[in-house]
Amino acid sequence: LDPVDAATLAEFAKTAGKPIECQAAVAWGPNQPLTNETIIVAPPRKGEIRVKVMSNALCHTDIYTLDGHDPEGLFPCILGHEAGAVVESVGAGVTSVAPGDHVIPCYTPQCNGPSCIFCASPKTNLCPAIRSTQGAGVMPDGTSRFSTLDGKPIFHFMGCSTFSEYTVIAEISAAKINPRMPLNKACLFGCGVATGLGAVWNTCKVEAGSSVAVFGLGAVGLAVVQAAKMAGASRIICIDLNKDKFTIATQLGCTDCVCPTDHGKTPIQEVIVGMTKWGVDYSFDCTGNVEVMRSALECAHRGWGESCVIGVAAAGKVLSTRPFQLVTGRVWKGTAFGGWKSRSAVPQLVERSMAGELPVDHYVTHSIDVEGGDVAAATNAAIHALHGGDCLRAVVTYAK
């Protein structure tokens, strides 16, 4: 994980412009285990870069698609979107990164084009430059860079596809970071941790002295707790069915731990309103469960409470609440990638982590090395770990 040396750059120079054969964990269909395959990764085309994936953290969104809950899920595909990588080669017209640079692939791109009203606006990070092709599982020109040895194309995923030793991403999806940051930690800023932090700091702008409720204490929820504590929240109420999560939550700043099963049939929103008189100033759903999203809204403070949806719900699920909840002053909002403009913000988050003000080590509960090139075995082990109750992030390291 050291900065790239001359020997590595020389190796990259040998493969630049040529197809690379490498190992990848391929998802052939929903609810099927990933299988290890030798695939061909084509060279990057105009505006694209090819990267060597060094470390990959598993996120629940990968599982959500693998389990068949994603309406955009396409198979066969190469999943993975929370990674640290090194640029191997660049396509025509690429200027922001060069071979040897360390990057975080970001599923929310930042084109910074002069005509992009989204990149120009301080209100959003939702750059739509490559949205249609990314959702269709292909690169911006409408084709895939992955194929089987016999030439069958394999779909991309979220513009990243990092369950592979090499992948091709758009230049506008690559956040260039300080090479001194270990990539097995930096990868956390590619999705979950950055999302939780940004929900607090960007989307809701939680003020000092606020009260906060956090539903779901996975990595995203704990990042919300960490960010709320750093923002100066005076009360942070954490809700989870797994009481084992309360120890780390308390260490990160949680002041009250609530397990819904301890309260019988009383709706959890009533429990929290009872603890606070009028509800909390800010609530965050980090579960993807639409019933929990409703509870989060309904425990928000009368008159000004804000509730932020972070979790991704399964296909076809809809939100419901009484309109009176909004008439009486509550605000329901959502966030994608925590509102961060990826290419400009992720490097800053990495710098803050390196400076010691944003520790992330506690999120990595499981570390797994790829052995003998079997990316799928290591990734399946990470999936198994994530399904257990004691895993926040399982980080798979492909190369040292």
Choose the catalytic residue: 8, 11, 35, 116: 116
Query: Catalytic: 133?
Result: no
Choose the catalytic residue: 111, 187, 254, 286: 111
Choose the catalytic residue: 8, 124, 131, 321: 131
**Cis before 76? omega within 30:** yes
Report the alpha-carbon distance of residue 78 to residue 23 in Å, rounded.
11
**Cis before 30? omega within 30:** no
C-alpha angle with apex 293: 234 to 241, nearest 5 degrees? 75
Choose the catalytic residue: 37, 48, 82, 88: 82
Query: Catalytic: 50?
Result: no
* Contact partners, residue 139, CB within 8 Å, separation at least 6: 45, 48, 133, 145, 156, 168, 170
Structure tokens that stand for 80 in this block:
């993975």
Choose the catalytic residue: 22, 59, 187, 391: 59
DSSP codes of every residue in 14-64: HHTTS-EEEEEEEB-STT---EEEEEEEPPP-TTEEEEEEEEEE--HHHHH
Report the alpha-carbon distance of residue 388 to residue 285 in Å, rounded.
20
Choose the catalytic residue: 191, 204, 257, 391: 191
Choose the catalytic residue: 22, 77, 106, 127: 127
Report the alpha-carbon distance of residue 108 to residue 136 in Å, rounded.
15
Query: Catalytic: 119?
Result: yes
Choose the catalytic residue: 81, 156, 330, 343: 81
Choose the catalytic residue: 22, 77, 106, 119: 119
Choose the catalytic residue: 102, 301, 366, 393: 393
Query: Catalytic: 299?
Result: no
Query: Catalytic: 235?
Result: no
Q: Cα 219 to the chain's mean position, in Å? A: 10
Provide the pairing of β-strand 211-215 with 102-105: unpaired
Query: Catalytic: 60?
Result: yes
Query: Catalytic: 111?
Result: yes
Query: Catalytic: 393?
Result: yes
C-alpha angle with apex 393: 398 to 354, nearest 5 degrees? 80
Query: Catalytic: 391?
Result: no
Choose the catalytic residue: 37, 48, 50, 61: 61
Report the alpha-carbon distance of residue 386 to residue 388 in Å, rounded.
5
Query: Catalytic: 322?
Result: no
Residue positions annotated with a catalytic role: 59-61, 81-82, 111, 116, 119, 127, 131, 191, 393
